[in-house]
Amino acid sequence: MTRSPDAIPPDLADRVLDALADPVVAIDRTGTIVRWTPAAEKLLGVPNGKAVGQRLTTIFQGLIRNDPIEVSTLGGAEKLDSVHRLGESGPLIAVSATPLRDAQGEVAGTVAMIRAMGGWLDPVERAGRPRRQWHRTLGAIVQDLVEGAAEDPSAMDASEALARVLVGQARALLPGAECLLAVVPRERQERFQVVAGAGPWAEAQVGTDWPRTGTLAGRTLQDGRALESTRLRELGEPIEALAKSGMQTGRLVPLWSARPLPDGRQALGVLAFYRRARAYFTPYERRLIAEFARLVTLSLQRAELLRSAGEAASRLETGVDVAVELAVTLEPEEVIARLVRRAAASVEADRAMLLEIEGTEAIVMEAFDQVSGKRATAGDRFPISDLLSGGKPVVQQAVDERQPGMSGSYRVVGRPAVSEWGQAGLRHTLTLPLVLGGSVTAVLLVSRRHDQPFRREDALTLQLVGNVAALALRNARLFVEAQEAHKARSDFLNMAGHELRTPLTVIKGYLSMLSDGSLGQPPAGLRQPIELLAGKADELGTLVDDLLFTSRLDSGRLPAHPMRLDLRIAVQDAARRADPRVHLLGGDLEIEVGGDEALVVSADPEHVARVLDNLVNNALTYRRPGQPAWVRLTAGIEDGMAVVAVEDRGRGVPPELRDRIFERFVRGDQGSSGAPGTGLGLYISRQLATRHGGKLELDRSTPGQGSRFSLRLPRAAVT
């Protein structure tokens, strides 16, 4: 039987496909390649013999990560337009795929036409979307965002507020789709938190948490690439709200920060668009989504950086506040109590406990409950390895690693009181070692009852508090040691003064009796030694008086009897007391108390007299060798204060001693001249001036030319 010349050849379809300039690839429902045209051989570089009969995923390895059913059937969609790159640096290709149906209308596979393209805009133009429309759409969104920022700048600074603004623009991109933004929280990075939505269903998801494991959103973030599917229902996503939504198509884009954020995160979240229809997004829509996702990523990154900067500033402010509060007192008990309370408040903890570390043992210094105000008993001692949380010795670990650690409730083996304190409803604990001088001196534990784990930022805040605390604790201990040393010194001075006074009184008494002949006239050869001994006894008596006076001054046992006192008269009295010694030295003493107006202050006359006598005697004692003594006393008013100045032309104070000249036992000549004295005169004088609300200062001093000291006291109110 011959065939009619007009009959259609049975291989016409194959001949037409082979004649097409654009490659055509067809696969069946199993994903096996059943057609591979010559144009496909040329463009894709795989011969027909090696392609037909192979799985599509064998030729295109990147498709292995896709849903195999969706690859072979388009998941029920009628069309898929997409853009791909051949290899890592090959040309771009545009793929247009449609389902292939059998005689009964069932999907038997998929046929795709492939076309090499010069740029991604080719399929956009084919879809009827001119380039100017693309620019206009995205540009309008950016403009709206800028205008919104101008009206409410704070909306651009907070992640949640910014997310609402951004997603609110999503409908300008795809009016028929719903959009939501799910971020990765810093506190619980194993989940997504939906922070913004556009569309009725998406808006209802705001505030909910979605899992990362086993979900398309989680896979999107894990793979670091956008994923799109028309089989959301069939994929069995473990998100109940999504399963009930009726959404069948979704495109999800991962949001990644180009650089790690201060908290270490790079995965920010996922931007997702959903449709109820089984219809893929067009290349134009995908490009808009991709560019919009970049804008969202940059905006979220900026907001997170701003938040991190704000938290860093807040931590610094907390550290300063703690430093100021702990500096109020140096009493160890008060410092410890303030430290524990501030540490708990700084990280919103309910309970806090401070342990002192001594070798392998810990001692409870303070334990405080922020809610009830309850304090645990201090002084309990136990091995640091006995404090356990989840079976781990967290204090031992903190001491060994010198790093903060996070755990749950805790207990101490064999210490019911401490265990009850650590287990009473507590759920999260942050343990911080306090390191000073390379050693862990204490460990701070702060705990929460509510189910909010401590974050890295909490550890940073507590570390800042801990650094200040370690210094405060050390200073408090040094203060106690200084107080004890000061008390011991005062006790010694007091004891030494009293013990020396009794034999000195006896010695001076007998020397006086020898001098006045009460015990008979001494031989002529002994008169000069007796006078020398009497003079040295007087010097020793002055030393003993200074020691006892200093002891009473330091211990607060020195009484003061202030009264109205005219400093002009006090200066004149001081000059009269010094006059015999001035004449003995062949010196000159000048007084300048000009004016008739009284220079009245409220002060103890004996204390003022002692200060002036010390200054005048120092001026006479430290005169230049071989030169007559010269001293001038002046009284007047400077800057509203009553001032008495004592000037001399003596040796002056060496430059290296000017900052220490008012300290105990420091002498102007460092004791090299052999002049009598204890080095306590200027110390006593400054303390007396301070107790009267005044100052004693060294105004100037030049070696070899003299010095000027001034006593400044507040003027008394006029009566």
647, 674 contact by CB (below 8 A): no
Count of CB atoms situated within 10 Å of the CB of 513: 12
- Inform me whether the pLDDT recorded for 125 exceeds 50: no
Helix H or strand E encompassing 268: strand 267-275
- Summarize the confidence of residues 672-700 as an average pLDDT: 83
Of the listed ranges 189-198, 225-234, 298-307, 653-662, the least confidently predicted one is 298-307
Mean pLDDT for 35-45 is 87
CB 37 within 8 A of CB 23: yes
DSSP assignment string, 4-63: PTTSPPTTHHHHHHHH-SS-EEEEETTSBEEEE-HHHHHHH---HHHHTTSBHHHH-GGG
Pick the range with the lowest mean pLDDT from 462-466, 647-651, 684-688.
462-466
**Is the predicted pLDDT of residue 547 greater than 90, yes or no?**
no
- Please compute the mean of the pLDDT values over residues 437-442 and round it to a whole number: 82
Question: pLDDT for 361-379, tens place per residue?
Answer: 988 888 888 777 777 677 8
Most confident of 217-226, 453-462, 523-532: 217-226
Q: Per-residue pLDDT for 126 more than 60?
A: no
d(CA 51, CA 25): 10
**pLDDT at residue 498 in the model:** 63
pLDDT at 127: 45
Helices and strands counted in the chain (H then E): 21, 26
CATH architecture, range 131-310:
2-Layer Sandwich (3.30)
Across the range 224-242, mean pLDDT stands at 83
What superfamily in CATH does domain 327-558 come from?
GAF domain (3.30.450.40)
Which is higher by pLDDT, 318 or 47? 47
Q: Which CATH number fits domain 563-714: 3.30.565.10, 3.40.1000.10, 3.10.310.70, 3.40.50.300?
A: 3.30.565.10
Mean pLDDT of 82-91: 76
Give Cα separations from 638 to 96, 575, 645 (angstroms). Answer: 97, 22, 11
Architecture of domain 12-119: 2-Layer Sandwich (3.30)
pLDDT exceeds 80 at position 405: yes
Condensed to tens digits (0 to 9), the pLDDT of residues 579-594 reads: 999 998 889 999 998 7
Mean pLDDT (whole number) for 632-658: 92
Q: How confident is the model at residue 326 (pLDDT cuts 50, 70, 90)?
A: low
Domain(s) labelled CATH 3.30.450.20 in the chain stretch across 12-119
- Residue 177 predicted with pLDDT over 60: yes
Q: What is the mean pLDDT of the chain?
A: 80
- Kindly give the pairing relationship between strand 630-638 and strand 588-592: parallel
List where CATH 3.30.565.10 sits in the chain. Answer: 563-714
Q: Pick 5 or 189 by higher pLDDT.
A: 189
CATH 3.30.450.40 residue spans of the chain: 131-310, 327-558
pLDDT band at 156 (very low <50, low <70, confident <90, very high): very low
| Residue in 239, 254, 168 with CA at minimum distance from that of residue 209 | 239
Sign for the pseudo-dihedral over CA of 669, 675, 677, 683: negative
Mean pLDDT of 591-605: 86
Quick one: which H or E segment has residue 498?
A: helix 456-516
Higher pLDDT, 467 or 387: 387
SS (H, E, C) 207-220: CCEEECCCCHHHHH
pLDDT at 421 over 80: no
- Residues 618-637, mean pLDDT to the nearest whole number: 90
